[in-house]
Amino acid sequence: MTYNLIQSSQPPVKNRGFLNWLLSNLFSTPANSALTLLSLLFLYWVLPPFFQWAIIDANFIGSDKSACTRDGACWVFVIQKIDFFIYGFYPDEAHWRVNLSFVLFFVFGFLFRFLPVNFIYKILVFMLYPIITYFLISGGSFGLDVVDTDKWGGLTLTLIVASIGIVAAIPFGIVLAFGRKSKLPIIKNLSVIYIEFIRGVPLISILFMASVILPLFFPEGMNFDKLLRALIGITMFQVAYIAEVIRGGMQAIPTGQYEAADSLGLSYWQKMLLIILPQALKVAIPNLIGASIALFKDTTLVLIIGLFDLLAMVHLTGTDNNWLGFDTEGYVFVTFVFWAFCFSLSKYGKFLEVKYNTDYR
C-alpha cells in the first residue's frame, strides 16, 4: 500500500502580507478600527511635539545652563550631572569600583547562562557575585578605602536595593508559602498573620518602622546603618507578596501530582521540593516578574528615610542654583532608565516562560 504525501503550500495571497495583518489585527471589527484610529490620533498629538522638544530643538553641548539657548530640552543638565545620577555621593576616585561591579554582573550572568557544568556549580558561581560586589563597593578589605553607605546613591543604590530585595525575598517567600499551606495550626496562623499584616500596610509604613522602630529591638550598643534597615524593611515587605505568588503557583498544580508523589513514598519535604515547588515556580514566573518590577519602582520610596536613589538625586540636583528650572530633563531621563530596566525584566520573564514551557494546555 502506498501513500501520496500532500506537499504544503503557501496560503492565498489575500490571506498573507502586511495588509492582511492590518485587517486581521487592527481593523477586524468596527470597534477595533475606531480604537486604532483614536490611538493613531493620540500618537500624532503626542509624539511629534515630544520629538521636536527632545531631539530637534534640544541642547546637547555645553558646560552650564547658558549653553541652553534653544527652546528644546537642555540635555546639558543631564550630561553634567550624570555622575550624580549614577553614583550619588560616591567618591570620584572610587567610581571604578562601581563600574567594575557592573561589568562583573554581566560576566557572572554569562557564566551562569553558558557555563557547561551542573546547576549546583552555577549557583555557587553566581553566589560569588554579591560577595565580591560588597567588598568592592563598601571597601575595608584588600587595600580598598571604606566608603560609608550614606555616600551610596543614584542608580547604584537603586540597583542594590532592588536586587537584594528581590533575591532575598524569594527563599523567605517560599518558606512562608509552605507555612501558610502547613497543616500545623500555629505555623499556618503565624504565616497568615504576617502575610495579611504586611499586605495591609503600605511600603512607606514598613520603611518608617524599619528605620525608627526596628532599632528599638536591637541589644544596647548594636546599631545597623540606615541602608541595612531599609533593606530589611523592603525584604520583609516583598516576602509577603512573593509568598502569595508562590502559594498561587502551588494551588495551580493538579492534585494528581501530590497523590503521585505520595504513592512513591516521598516524604513531605521531598514531595514539596522535588515535585511541587519546581512546577509551582514555573507557573508563578509571570507573577514573580510582576512583583519584581513593582519592587524596582517602589525603591524610590527610600527617599523618605534619607537615602538618595536615582529619582532623589535628580530632585536634589534640580535644586542647584546653577540649574534651577532644568529638572524636567532629569525626570525624563529617569523615566527612560526605569522603563529600560522594567522592560528588560519583562522580556527576561518571557524568556523564562518559553524556556521552561509553562503552558499547561
Residue in 290, 258, 254, 286 with CA at minimum distance from that of residue 354: 286
> Cβ–Cβ contacts within 10 Å for residue 99, how many?
14
CB 94 within 8 A of CB 163: no
The CATH number of 71-90+147-356, from 1.10.3720.10, 3.40.50.300, 1.10.150.120, 3.40.640.10, is: 1.10.3720.10
User: Which three cell numbers mark 69?
Assistant: 539657548
DSSP category for residue 175: H
Residue 88: strand pairing partners: 152
Residues whose CB is less than 8 angstroms from the CB of residue 186 and which lie 6 or more positions away in sequence, other chains included? none
**206 vs 83: CA distance, rounded Å:** 30
Position 93: which residue type? E
Q: From first to last of its 361 residues, what are the pLDDT tens digits of the chain?
A: 555 556 666 655 555 667 777 777 778 888 888 898 999 999 999 888 889 888 888 888 888 777 888 788 888 888 888 988 999 899 988 899 999 988 888 887 777 777 666 666 666 666 777 888 888 888 877 788 888 888 888 899 999 899 888 888 988 999 999 999 888 889 999 999 999 999 888 888 888 888 887 777 777 766 778 888 888 889 999 999 999 999 998 888 888 888 888 888 888 888 888 888 888 888 888 899 999 999 999 988 888 888 888 888 888 887 877 777 778 888 999 999 999 999 999 998 888 888 877 554 4
The answer to whether 239 touches 169, Cβ cutoff 8 Å, is yes
The secondary element (H helix, E strand) that includes residue 259 is helix 255-263
User: Which residue matches cell numbers 550624570?
Assistant: 82
Query: What are the counts of helices (DSSP H) followed by strands (DSSP E) for the chain?
Result: 14, 0
